[in-house]
Copies of this chain bind each other. A is one copy, B any other.
């Protein structure tokens, strides 16, 4: 069985969701322009976690082209997503795609480095999705998790990093330092007393942490 077969099966059997066509257009754009977006399995997982928690205040670090922001906004009838992006090309592309989405009024894109623009945040959040520069995950969690409510959910994407977090020697040489850093992040998060964390082998690995 290949992942492609599995992906095709899961796509076939799940009912089409709202804006499936827009999301497919964004998937093609991402492939063509080598923009990393979340896997379909990860998208479904995020949507179900949001539905399960009834999360309506969602914070995202790393908009990219807005695929995950739209995905998360679609999972909640009236939820809002606040999302940070610092790359100018991605901001431009994200704005183009967001304009096509019925969720656009519910997504606030903050331009710039999340650490520098943190004063833009207001109030606390039910759900925090960390999907930005992988080498800074500890700092992202330390800086932004105080904005998460107790009992709120934090999800960190790509924590298995194609398996390189547990087999860093199989990573291309230039990525080995990052793979090791991400492995350290995983151990740090799993032992962090403020979170009850599980790494799920979904997509590229998703850590789901419940804030205590």
Contact = CB atoms under 8 A, between A and B. Distances in A.
A15 B153 CA distance: 19
Nearest to A8: B166
Interface in A6-46: 6, 8-10, 13-15, 41, 44-45
Q: Is the interface of A mostly helix, strand, loop or mixed?
A: helix
Contacts of A166: 1, 5-6, 8-9
A79 interface: no
Contacts of A53: 52
A13 B45 contact: no
Interface stretch (A94-102, A111-119, A142-150, A198-206): A198-206
Interface string A150-170: 000100000010110111001
A198 B163 contact: no
Contacts of A9: 165-166
Nearest to A183: B13
A77 to B, nearest CB: 12
Contacts of A14: 190, 198-199
A190 B13 CA distance: 7
A201 B53 CA distance: 20
Q: How large is the interface on A (under 10, 10 to 19, 20 to 34, 35 or more residues)?
A: 35 or more
A91 B153 CA distance: 37
Interface in A43-96: 44-45, 47-49, 51-53
A197 to B, nearest CB: 8
Given A5-B167, A163-B1, A167-B5, A52 B210 contact: yes
B1 A201 contact: no
B5 A48 contact: no
A176 interface: no
A111 to B, nearest CB: 33
Interface of A: 1, 5-6, 8-10, 13-15, 41, 44-45, 47-49, 51-53, 153, 160, 162-163, 165-167, 170, 186-187, 190-191, 196, 198-202, 208, 210
